[in-house]
Chain A
């Protein structure tokens, strides 16, 4: 249908529309009009992606000079591919309606592992191996060497692309990862480099967060993207953690040992080169004196070692003299390494700030701040000069130099913690130096500064106001949308007591309590008897799940559950879990029914949807608080309190509730779907916890369902499931939660729609 969103003609590729989609588009348009940032929460399964795409594409078509590009960031590869497929649907609709052929170029970008078509390289299993192998075939000096010795192996796809691929722009169209590979095979071009090149002139780019947030990658991939772009972070509820991860470094003793080897290799190589080809080193020295930046041309294959700090922090001056010659630099690295080793020899936990660390290093080994800041860049130059083929081997020394640059660049927002052993095993020495970022706003700041509109959106962003605070930006729109429902297809229940009135809770004091564990077991057992098909249960942590499973096994609860359904359990091993997941789906599919025991914050809770019969009930055992004894977390909480005035408890609860909401939200993926959401912990009933759930879940929690026993839960669930099992037709929804164009345009409905968005 064609919509009129405040004067903008929007093509929407469906015959009907949800009211909240319309409302969402309104808010989104306002954000774009204001050229500002926005935070929008809309329940999953209400067609968020297609609303976003429809509006932004329409905007791009209407104002091609205002918005030149859409950068859509998602989290997982399947998500990325889904977005592109939805986009394809939209574009097909455009073609059908307007009769014009599509002149939009949209493509997905992923790592080499997902795009490589070289027969040998793509056969490798791990991303890192693929990257390393690719690099060894395509690095600029490898190719330069090939001029003299044509027998060296080459990647014909890259050569072909390099020879002709750049002259002809990628024809307009929608390219998913597989389409890129097909295209690459047909033309004989490398899809990965083709995609990287094509994103510069594409209208829509879909890729993962890292390409924008991790400075090490962002610098080489996304540097030249136009400022007049709209950036969308979908599934952004964890964006702060992604930011923090991309800036943090851990150094163990093993890293240092391997680093030692690296440094020795470097030294030997320098010696060798000095004997054979001293001019190379001299040339490098000369370049460094002049402070020449590396020319970007013909170097895109080399940028594996980008600077770990953000672009605006990189010093625009020449490398200081103390580390300019190769030998001096290696000596410098050695000293730094020895210093780190001595720091790891401590017997007690040390926590210090970056300036303290710098002062100490200056006192002990006389290393200045300035050469440290150039460490990463200097190493980059050296590795290139020495023409090291396999960079993957040098990852430890790269890590150390990145750490050096980071620690000397940022005096705020980071902390250094040295732990001589793990808390659980105090007798085993395993020293680790954590250099951890505590301020997610550091990594995302350049994104907000650079692009005119950044939209952060997800199904669970409650409470909305916390994101602008921890990411330090000023949104022009903040809105939370509810799900308009013709029937209440979600049923959140809070189970606070067992049948024996024992309070159910995963809190630390009662964690090992047999009565609680038994009651949890009973809950699962009873639910397994009444819920059809699939049940997913989430625990607060892996260790907790292991313990509970073991005691359920001893008490025979699991065996009783097996009478009703098969049991599958998440393990730390991703491959094993994938298999369990597939079998779980198979068991749901063939009608046997199954239970999946899983962990909040685990991979399953973040990336797998349980649509329809794959998840008719989600049980959340306990409140998924993060492990609060960790020193890194404590430091972060302290920082949040000092810098952003966010109380520790508020943040912890916020973090726990967003994960709980993610877990239970996995079961509802649309208005025709239905599912039970069972919160099995009495603490959920408290206002401070409940209030932090997304509005679309919160509004269905009635006062009567706050502190149920297991029996009451079973009764309510039975009733709910029977009601839901009735046929649900389009006509039932029409006019309420599903609108035709005429209905949408009626005065009354427009009135209602304005109430859907909950402004904060």
Chain B
């Protein structure tokens, strides 16, 4: 038994699968089940093939564990040990829970990537259907040389994806619902948790500090929702709360943001006033400095306001954290020397730009911006209220169109017949004859008629055949020169693949065409290509034989 060398992590006896008793083994890389009394596994799944596991609800009589594979198949195990079924199941579940994510990432990524490629590229998808689903070649073969460039292209493709920001209202989405018996239910999803972590790094830190060791996940979130941190309108009094530290950290963060000041001098309220009145002058009295006079309500209101400002700032920062990293650094360097003399040197460019922006009247200047084509609305109401289809379209920019129209107009305007260098009359008439219908140069036009002659479905099929054949031929020709045993093997296989293709795909198509009395030489070129491949193969084979003998 090959698996003997494997490390067995867990063995559960009395597990039924398809009404057959047996034993479940959890090993380092796969999960396996063998029926009782036999020493081979009838079920064996690599962890990387498993998409997820499902368990039967607690109250159910049958205690089951289901594994769902990426292929969509599933296997169900029924834990049948009367006394310890639940415990067994939970042990298996826990272990799987830890193991699966490790394999998942890699497998998933590849799978997702393949999936994405198929979805994004209809031609590839068709090819996949033609070749793999009809089992001309195996999936691995198909992907073998796709994934190569896939892996190279991979990172850039992923990076092109835009970072998704955080909804400003994620906290609103977890509005508690009363559960009817004096309790509150909060609905948390992975997305919300992710949002909370990204917005409040302090909470994430608390989570990683506390969560498996001191608190369970559930307890953690319960405490979170009970905390003063979450309910900012309650005044923070107790210090037992694990989140009180978070609040302090937030405060600190807010303060440091405030101290750093703003980059845009036009919104800096501190430097707005040129000369403030000295203390004691002016009509307004200075605000009473005694903080004790603030009522509890007022300070709770102030806390709410602070919280909203902070929350919005954090949400905004979470959305642009990646892009901002370098600028942050720049501002740090400028703030570390903390000298306003230095900041002077940094400031002017921003300031200049902002000032120029502020005094600009774009409509008073002669326009030199890009020209646009105005939408000419006959019924603006229909535009404003009608349905708008969501389509992404590629179109040339209006600037391009204008440019090209202008260009042509210019060309036409400047056209001057150059009468000294015209062609001779005989040459001209022969050219005209060649270009008129029936002429030599117009013969090609007859071929266009295929468009009309052949029904579109046949055309489509032909296209697919071409694509499939080309893919196979590509594989075939890529084996030459054959200089390794592997390639030898492959070339043999590819030849048989080609033959199989001709038998299963091309021949039925030819018959179909014949049945429809269409011109048979539609597939002529395809056959020609295949013949070339075969003859190449034969030459190679005979040469090899000669060499061997």
A residues with CB within 8 A of B: 14-18, 47, 49-50, 76-78, 80-82, 85-86, 89, 110-111, 113-114, 117, 119, 122-123, 125, 127-128, 178, 181, 207-208, 210-211, 214, 217, 241, 244-246, 248-252, 255, 395-396, 399, 422, 425, 428, 430, 432, 434, 436-437, 546-547, 549-550, 553-554, 556, 558-560, 562-569, 571-583, 585-587, 590, 592, 594, 603-604, 607-609, 611, 632, 670-672, 719, 722-723, 726-727, 729-730, 733, 738
Per a CB cutoff under 8 Å, which of A559, A569, A730 touches B363? A730
Among A18, A395, A576, chain B packs the most CB atoms within 10 A around the CB of: A576
CB distance from A174 to the nearest CB of B (A): 13
Nearest A residue (CB) for B271? A77
Q: Is the CB of B305 within 8 A of A546?
A: yes
Residues in B lying within 8 Å of A, measured CB to CB: 165, 167-169, 171-172, 175, 233, 254, 257-259, 261-288, 290, 293, 297-298, 300-302, 304-306, 308-309, 312-313, 315-316, 319-320, 339-341, 344, 348, 351, 355-356, 358-359, 361-367, 372, 374-375, 377, 380, 384
Cross-chain contact A128 with B312 (CB below 8 angstroms): no
In Å, the complex CA distance between A580 and B311 comes to: 11
- A672: nearest chain-B partner, CB-CB: B363
Does A594 lie within 8 Å of B366, measured CB to CB? no
Nearest chain A CB to B16 CB, angstrom units:
50
Q: A77 vs B367: C-alpha distance in the bound complex, in angstroms?
A: 31
A-side contacts of B380, CB under 8 Å: 723, 726
A–B Cβ pairs within 8 angstroms, 9 of them: A14-B365, A248-B282, A251-B280, A432-B285, A553-B233, A567-B312, A579-B257, A582-B267, A671-B363
Whether A576 contacts B309 in the complex (CB less than 8 A), given A245-B283, A248-B282, A250-B286, comes out as yes
Question: Which residues of A are found within 8 Å of B341, using beta-carbon distances?
Answer: 117, 119, 122-123
| Cβ 8 A contact of A399, one of B172, B280, B301 | B280
CA distance A214 to B290 in the complex (A): 30
Question: What are the nearest 8 A-B pairs in CB distance?
Answer: A559-B172, A208-B274, A14-B364, A562-B169, A563-B169, A566-B312, A546-B301, A245-B282
Contacting pair A607 B269 (CB below 8 A): yes
Given contacts A49-B359, A178-B348, A245-B281, 9 further A-B contacts (CB under 8 A): A18-B364, A85-B359, A127-B275, A246-B282, A549-B304, A550-B297, A562-B171, A578-B261, A608-B269
Identity of the chain B residue whose Cβ is nearest the Cβ of A558 in the assembled complex: B308
Q: Which of B282, B320, B355, B377 sits near A250, CB closer than 8 Å?
A: B282
Question: Which of chain A's residues has its CB closest to B258's CB?
Answer: A575
List, in ascending order, chain B residues with CB within 8 A of A567's CB: 168, 308, 312
Beyond A85-B355, A582-B262, A738-B363, whether A430 also contacts B280 by CB under 8 A is no
Please, which residue of chain A has its CB at the minimum distance from the CB of B289?
Answer: A254
Q: Nearest residue in B to A572 (C-beta to C-beta)?
A: B287
- A569 adjacent to B375 (CB under 8 Å): no
Chain B, Cβ-Cβ closest to A582: B262
Indicate if the CB atoms of B288 and A738 lie closer than 8 Å: no
Once A241-B283, A249-B281, A571-B306 are accepted as A-B contacts, the answer to whether A422 and B264 lie under 8 Å apart by CB is: no
- In the assembled complex, the Cα of A755 lies from the Cα of B513 at a distance in Å of 84
Question: Which residues on the B side are within 8 Å of A15 (C-beta)?
Answer: 364-366
Across the interface, do A559 and B175 meet the contact criterion of CB distance under 8 Å?
yes
A547 near B301: Cβ-Cβ < 8 Å:
yes
CB distance from A460 to the nearest CB of B (A): 19
A271 to B198, CA, bound (A): 67
Q: Is the CB of A582 within 8 A of B264?
A: yes
Partner of B272, one of A559, A560, A603: A603
Residues of chain A lying within 8 A (CB to CB) of residue B257: 579
Q: Residue of A at shortest CB range from B305?
A: A569
CA distance A81 to B285 in the complex (A): 30
Nearest-Cβ distance from residue A420 to partner chain B, whole angstroms: 13
Pairwise interchain contact B309-A249, C-beta atoms closer than 8 A: no
Q: Given contacts A250-B285, A571-B309, are A128 and B278 in contact (CB under 8 A)?
A: yes
B293 touches A672 (CB 8 A): no
- Give the nearest-CB partner of A427 in chain B: B293
Q: Which residue of B lies closest to A726 (CB)?
A: B375
Q: Are A78 and B283 in contact (CB under 8 A)?
A: no
Smallest CB separation, B191 vs chain A (Å): 15
Task: For the complex formed, measure the closest distance between the CB of B314 and the CB atoms of chain A, giving whole angstroms.
Answer: 10
> Pick the contact of A395 from B169, B259, B278, B293 — CB < 8 Å?
B278
- Give chain A nearest CB distance to B375 CB in angstroms: 7
**Given B275, B281, B375, which contacts A248 in the complex, CB threshold below 8 Å?**
B281
* Chain A contacts for B363, CB-based, 8 A: 16, 670-672, 730, 733, 738
Report B-chain residues with C-beta under 8 Å of the C-beta of A123: 339-341
Known interface pairs A434-B285, A592-B165, A738-B364. Does A78 touch B316 (Cβ–Cβ under 8 Å)? Answer: no
Question: Once the chains bind, are A80 and B274 in contact (CB under 8 Å)?
Answer: yes
**Does A78 contact B365, Cβ atoms closer than 8 Å?**
no
Q: Which residues of A contact B302 (CB under 8 A)?
A: 546, 571
Judge whether B281 and A78 touch: CB under 8 Å.
no
Tell me the bound Cα distance from A80 to B271 in angstroms. Answer: 12
Nearest residue in B to A89 (C-beta to C-beta)? B359
State in angstroms the CA–CA spacing of A46 and B420 once bound together.
61
Alpha-carbon distance A89/B359, docked complex (angstroms): 10
Question: Quick one: closest B residue to A593, CB to CB?
Answer: B168
Across the interface, do B268 and A578 meet the contact criterion of CB distance under 8 Å?
Answer: yes
Known: A250-B282, A395-B279. A549 touches B169 (CB 8 A): no
Contact B305 A549 (CB under 8 A): yes
Looking at the assembled complex, report how far the CB atom of A51 sits from the nearest CB atom of chain B, in whole angstroms: 11
A181-B344 contact, Cβ under 8 Å, with A17-B364, A80-B274, A583-B313: yes
Pick the contact of A586 from B275, B283, B290, B316 — CB < 8 Å?
Answer: B316
- Closest CB of chain A to B194's CB: distance in Å? 17
Q: Are B264 and A609 in contact (CB under 8 A)?
A: no
Residue of B whose beta carbon sits closest to that of A308? B281
B277 surroundings in chain A (CB, below 8 A): 214, 245-246
Q: Which residues of A contact B280 (CB under 8 A)?
A: 249-252, 255, 395-396, 399
Partner of B298, one of A47, A436, A546, A632: A546
Cross-chain contact B281 with A250 (CB below 8 angstroms): yes
Q: Report whether A730 and B358 are in contact in the complex, using a CB–CB cutoff of 8 Å.
A: no
Chain B: which residue is nearest A563 at the CB level? Answer: B169
Instruction: Given A81-B355, A558-B308, A575-B258, answer yes or no on A672-B362 (Cβ-Cβ < 8 Å).
Output: yes
For A117, A208, A587, which residue has the most chain B Cβ atoms within 10 angstroms?
A587
A557 to B272, CA, bound (A): 33
**Using Cβ atoms and an 8 Å threshold, which residues of chain B touch A249?**
280-281
Closest CB of chain B to A314's CB: distance in Å? 19
A244 surroundings in chain B (CB, below 8 A) = 283
Chain B residues with Cβ below 8 Å from A214 are: 275, 277
Identify which of B276, B305, B366 gathers the most chain A CB atoms within 10 Å of its CB. B305
Closest Cβ of chain B to A416, distance in Å, is 13
Task: Report B252 CB to chain A, min CB distance, Å.
Answer: 14
Instruction: Report whether B286 and A562 are in contact in the complex, using a CB–CB cutoff of 8 Å.
Output: no
Within 8 Å by CB of B274, from A210, A245, A251, A437, lies A210
In angstroms, Cα B293 to Cα A220, docked, is 41
* Nearest-neighbor residue (CB-CB) of B364 within chain A: A14
Closest chain A residue to B270 by CB distance?
A574
Check A47–B361 contact: CB distance below 8 A.
yes
Q: Which residue of B lies closest to A47 (CB)?
A: B361
CB distance from B460 to the nearest CB of A (A): 42
Closest to A84 in B: B355
Contacts of B285 in A (CB 8 A): 250, 432, 434
**Is the Cβ of A425 less than 8 Å from the Cβ of B293?**
yes
